[in-house]
Chains A and B, each alone.
Chain A
Amino acid sequence: MSEQGMIAGFIVAVATGFLAKRFYRSYGAPILADFLLKRGKVSAAMKIRGKAKPACGGDCGCD
């Protein structure tokens, strides 16, 4: 793979990681926290809930 290809691949990987983390914090974490809460695992739920962001990630100015 060329040097340009490797750098481009790295940038794509970083962007994918960024979006995956954001997706988890906006959509995955609140659902997971609710799931754990319903099963009585309060401390785990609170820990996950603490890392959750509003669905918009605050982009709309709501957080």
Chain B
Amino acid sequence: MSVNESALPLNEQARSPRFALAGNPNCGKTALFNAITGGRQKVGNYPGVTVERKEGFFTRPDGEQVRILDLPGTYSLDAKTPDEEISRDVLLGKISDEEQPDVILAVADATSLERNLGLILELRALGRPMILALNMMDLARARGAVIDLEVLGRELGFPVFPTVAVNGDGVEPLLAQAMQIAHAAKLSAEKSPAADWKNSTPNEVRDRFATVDAILAKAVKRSARPLIWSEKVDRIVVHPVWGSIILLFILGVIFQAIFSWAALPQEWIEKGVGALGKSVAGLMSVGPLRSLLTDGVIAGVGSVLVFLPQILLLFFFILLLEDTGYMARAAFLMDRVMGKVGLHGRAFIPLLSSFACAIPGIMATRTIENRRDRLTTILVAPLMTPSATLPNYSLLIAAFIPNTAVFGPVRLQGLVMLGLYAGGVAATLGMAWVFKRTLLKGVKPPLLMELPTYKVPSWRNIFFGLRDRCWIFIRRAGTVILAITIILWFVASYPKAPEGALLPPIDYSYAGRIGHAIEPLIRPLGFDWRIGIAFVPGMAAREVMVSALATVYAIEGKDEEATGRALSEVLKSQWSVATAVSLLVWYILACQCLSTLAVTRRETNSWRWPLFMFSYMTALAYVGSFITYRLCVWAGL
């Protein structure tokens, strides 16, 4: 099976069969989608909403191309969240610009058929061509399940195929049958009228579950045994005390690894960037273009690229924890803490997403129905440390925190990084507590969540996830950060210093003047005008602070050697520890992101909330940095 990565032309799409994968969350839909499309897919949003739309293409051996949609997981067509509404509306053909699928590829978890079959019966009631992939059959068999697929198919009224999506078993026969169904459906060319569908009445729900029981009684000779070991493990992993210790331990390992494992590739990139700067400087005569390339582009963008290995390691661990099923346990543990400060249980996913970027985190709050709970989550989401802050943290930690061993393999740099992330979480919970008791009072509803079974991670899923993150980071560095760095180079280089000037040339530039104008405001925090310069473009992207500082110090540096010196070394020789710690606290608390404010405006449909968010976070950061700086100075740092 080969994969066509690009979107098919419109006339081609019109002829292509369309499949839609539908099923409960955690039943292996995405693994099946990856197995079918090879993971090469287009990810976007459905029009007008922020629900992710995943589409892929594949070509059959006979050359026929097929379009496949991975619908968001849902427990029922009686939708309660925007994700579930999208799944239902796509299947009903109610989404504009989205044709109704020709065949529904229903996916069910073979280890818990009684829960999955409810949705399957709802899908059957739509009257669309359908096929069922009974996924995770290996696990079901291992747990002693005996399912008569023929009887099950007969009872359901459509073919049932056993699959193990993570290794691609059973995918080929499933697709071959689905193609046959698609061709047969095309001949009849029937579409189910969307107007016919209505939410289920309580009686219908009861009848549906009675039908599930009747089908299971006929088709399942022996149910899958409950996972005794999994329950035993969960007794410890979700235990309030032991679970919290395990969570802290895992986070500690992650941050230690981010520093230790990334050191070598970072050194390679750093050396490569330094060598590139020197060779470009050696090839060109002194002039503005050479300065732009060496002090601006290479020093600026290169200083950000150095952090790619750390970003990838962070996402590697996040993907690994998600894939093994541990993340749901972490959510369960955190719900206890979140509940105490009044946060809605559904706030966990938006807050967790904010570790990657506050924007999808804020968008994900749409799953929270109560407006006050949703607003609280939106207002605190930017306090969760987004990955764009990682380069800033890493730079300052590498420059000012000695990499000494604290206890065995535990090193101080990793501990400080863990502390910074913990600081972000503490600030999030603290502010949520304040908002839920003042501005946005309300009662916290209970959270009902499913703990998926533990799984061996799919390295293919992790690889594709990392590849996407790598691309996003490089694209960001090569577009926004590059453009900002070029403009920053210009404003830091022009106008030139007058003849006989005593101060460094940068002091006479636009950037120098802006920096000096800002300096009185930030001086009490221990920041000088150079940091002030970095704050302004840093509003466009947090990690621009690193490239901005690199450019400013590269332009300011008079000696040729400064070109090849790592930024951390330059900062170490110019800043006090108190300044560095104060800046770290600033980055935990400040809203240094214009996009976050724009998204908040869009999600709240008002300028009041983004302005409030910016004001409270800036005030919090200012007070936090001020106190930190004074304490550090008092301690002689």
Q: How far is the CA of A63 from the CA of B487 in the complex (A)?
A: 26
The listed residue (A8, A15, A30) touching B602 by CB distance below 8 A is: A30
Given contacts A12-B490, A55-B595, contact A2 B288 (CB under 8 A): yes
Q: How far is the CA of A4 from the CA of B599 in the complex (A)?
A: 40
Closest CB of chain A to B292's CB: distance in Å? 5
Q: Which single residue of chain B is at the shortest CB-CB distance from A2?
A: B287
Closest CB of chain B to A21's CB: distance in Å? 10
The listed residue (A7, A30, A62) touching B359 by CB distance below 8 A is: A62
The listed residue (B290, B468, B469) touching A4 by CB distance below 8 A is: B290
Q: How far is the CA of A32 from the CA of B357 in the complex (A)?
A: 26
Residues of A contacting B595 in the complex (Cβ-Cβ under 8 angstroms): 26, 55-57, 60
Given contacts A4-B289, A8-B292, A55-B359, contact A60 B483 (CB under 8 A): no
The listed residue (B288, B359, B482, B489) touching A60 by CB distance below 8 A is: B359
Residues of A contacting B360 in the complex (Cβ-Cβ under 8 angstroms): 60-62
Residues of A contacting B289 in the complex (Cβ-Cβ under 8 angstroms): 4-5, 7-8, 11
- B598/A26 in contact, CB under 8 A: yes
Residues of A contacting B292 in the complex (Cβ-Cβ under 8 angstroms): 8, 11-12
Residues of A12-39 contacting chain B, CB below 8 A? 12, 15-16, 18-19, 22, 26-27, 30
* Interface status of B589 (Cβ within 8 A of chain A): no
Q: Which single residue of chain B is at the shortest CB-CB distance from A59?
A: B476
Residues of B contacting A11 in the complex (Cβ-Cβ under 8 angstroms): 289, 292, 486
Residues of B282-310 contacting chain A, CB below 8 A? 284-285, 287-292
Residues of A contacting B468 in the complex (Cβ-Cβ under 8 angstroms): 61
Q: How far is the CA of A2 from the CA of B291 in the complex (A)?
A: 14
- B287/A4 in contact, CB under 8 A: yes
Residues of A contacting B45 in the complex (Cβ-Cβ under 8 angstroms): 62-63
Q: How far is the CA of A11 from the CA of B290 in the complex (A)?
A: 12
For B479, B483, B599, which residue has the most chain A Cβ atoms within 10 angstroms? B483
Proximity string of chain B (380-422) to chain A, C-beta cutoff 8 Å, 1 when within and 0 when not: 0000000000000000000000000000000000000000000
Given contacts A59-B480, A60-B356, contact A16 B487 (CB under 8 A): yes
* Interface status of B50 (Cβ within 8 A of chain A): yes
The listed residue (B359, B476, B479, B482) touching A54 by CB distance below 8 A is: B359
Q: How far is the CA of A30 from the CA of B596 in the complex (A)?
A: 15
Q: How far is the CA of A8 from the CA of B292 in the complex (A)?
A: 7
Chain B interface SS verdict (over half): helix
> Considering only CB atoms and an 8 Å cut-off, how many residues of chain A contact the other chain?
25
Given contacts A15-B483, A62-B363, A63-B44, contact A55 B357 (CB under 8 A): no
* Interface status of B637 (Cβ within 8 A of chain A): no
Residues of A contacting B523 in the complex (Cβ-Cβ under 8 angstroms): none
Chain A interface SS verdict (over half): helix
- A19/B487 in contact, CB under 8 A: yes
Closest CB of chain A to B328's CB: distance in Å? 21
Residues of A contacting B291 in the complex (Cβ-Cβ under 8 angstroms): 8
- B357/A22 in contact, CB under 8 A: no
Q: Which single residue of chain A is at the shortest CB-CB distance from B484?
A: A19
Proximity string of chain B (469-489) to chain A, C-beta cutoff 8 Å, 1 when within and 0 when not: 100100110011011101101
- B483/A19 in contact, CB under 8 A: yes
Closest CB of chain B to A60's CB: distance in Å? 4
Q: Which single residue of chain B is at the shortest CB-CB distance from A57?
A: B480
Q: Which single residue of chain A is at the shortest CB-CB distance from B481?
A: A59
Residues of A contacting B359 in the complex (Cβ-Cβ under 8 angstroms): 54-56, 60, 62
For A11, A15, A30, A63, which residue has the most chain B Cβ atoms within 10 angstroms? A15
Q: Which single residue of chain A is at the shortest CB-CB distance from B363?
A: A62
The listed residue (B44, B288, B483, B594) touching A8 by CB distance below 8 A is: B288
- A18/B356 in contact, CB under 8 A: no
- A62/B490 in contact, CB under 8 A: no
Residues of B contacting A15 in the complex (Cβ-Cβ under 8 angstroms): 482-484, 486-487
Q: How far is the CA of A22 from the CA of B480 in the complex (A)?
A: 9
Q: Which single residue of chain B is at the shortest CB-CB distance from A27?
A: B598
* Interface status of B43 (Cβ within 8 A of chain A): yes
Residues of B contacting A55 in the complex (Cβ-Cβ under 8 angstroms): 359, 594-596, 598-599, 602
Q: How far is the CA of A56 from the CA of B486 in the complex (A)?
A: 20
Q: Which single residue of chain A is at the shortest CB-CB distance from B289?
A: A4
Residues of A contacting B288 in the complex (Cβ-Cβ under 8 angstroms): 2, 4-5, 8-9
Q: Which single residue of chain A is at the shortest CB-CB distance from B386?
A: A60
Residues of A contacting B287 in the complex (Cβ-Cβ under 8 angstroms): 2, 4-5, 8
Q: Which single residue of chain A is at the shortest CB-CB distance from B297?
A: A11
- A12/B486 in contact, CB under 8 A: yes
Proximity string of chain B (36-66) to chain A, C-beta cutoff 8 Å, 1 when within and 0 when not: 0000000111000010000000000000000
Proximity string of chain B (592-617) to chain A, C-beta cutoff 8 Å, 1 when within and 0 when not: 00111011001000000000000000
Closest CB of chain A to B613's CB: distance in Å? 14
Q: How far is the CA of A7 from the CA of B284 in the complex (A)?
A: 13
Q: How far is the CA of A18 from the CA of B482 in the complex (A)?
A: 10
- A59/B475 in contact, CB under 8 A: yes
Closest CB of chain B to A59's CB: distance in Å? 5
Q: How far is the CA of A55 from the CA of B357 in the complex (A)?
A: 12
Residues of A contacting B490 in the complex (Cβ-Cβ under 8 angstroms): 12
Closest CB of chain A to B544's CB: distance in Å? 12
Residues of B contacting A60 in the complex (Cβ-Cβ under 8 angstroms): 356-357, 359-360, 472, 595
Closest CB of chain B to A33's CB: distance in Å? 11
Residues of B contacting A18 in the complex (Cβ-Cβ under 8 angstroms): 479, 483
- B487/A12 in contact, CB under 8 A: yes
**Given A8-B292, A61-B356, 6 other A-B contacts at CB below 8 A?**
A4-B288, A59-B475, A59-B541, A60-B472, A63-B44, A63-B45
Q: Can you list 28 residue pairs at the A/B interface with Cβ under 8 Å?
A: A2-B288, A5-B287, A5-B289, A7-B289, A11-B292, A11-B486, A22-B479, A22-B480, A22-B483, A26-B595, A27-B598, A30-B598, A54-B359, A55-B359, A55-B594, A55-B596, A57-B480, A59-B479, A59-B480, A60-B359, A60-B472, A61-B356, A61-B357, A61-B360, A61-B468, A61-B469, A62-B357, A63-B45
3 closest Cβ pairs, A-B complex: A60-B357, A4-B287, A55-B598
